[in-house]
Amino acid sequence: MATETREELKERIIEMLKENLEGASEMATIDPDTDLSTLGINSMTFIKLVIATEMEFGVSWSDEDLDFRNFRTVNHIMNYITESKVE
């Protein structure tokens, strides 16, 4: 199995966000360091993103990691996924 590049991972995350967030159509042009709270993420969409991330990327979120700051940007999500797969 080939290793996924950061660019491929970023694209998968953006697709996941588009599928799970209303009004995320502008995600294709978003900078990986843009604050995603500008997309109107609330507690319900946050839980939806946690579940989608677990299903899409096979990562598990520990209770202490269930913090919106881990979802603040595409880069934060990428870093968490990458670190989780190494462990």
Q: Is the dihedral of CA 67, 65, 22, 12 positive or negative?
A: positive
Supply the range of the domain harboring residue 81. Answer: 6-86
pLDDT tens per residue, range 18-71? 888 876 666 667 788 988 888 777 788 889 999 999 999 999 888 888 888 888
Please check whether residue 50 lies inside any domain of the structure.
Answer: yes
Burial class (CB in 10 A: 0-12, 13-18, 19+), 15: middle
Judge whether residue 78 has pLDDT over 70: yes
What total number of domains does the chain contain?
1
Strands (E), the chain: none
CATH number of domain containing 33: 1.10.1200.10
Residue 30, in any domain of the structure: yes
* pLDDT score at 7: 92
pLDDT at 1 over 50: no
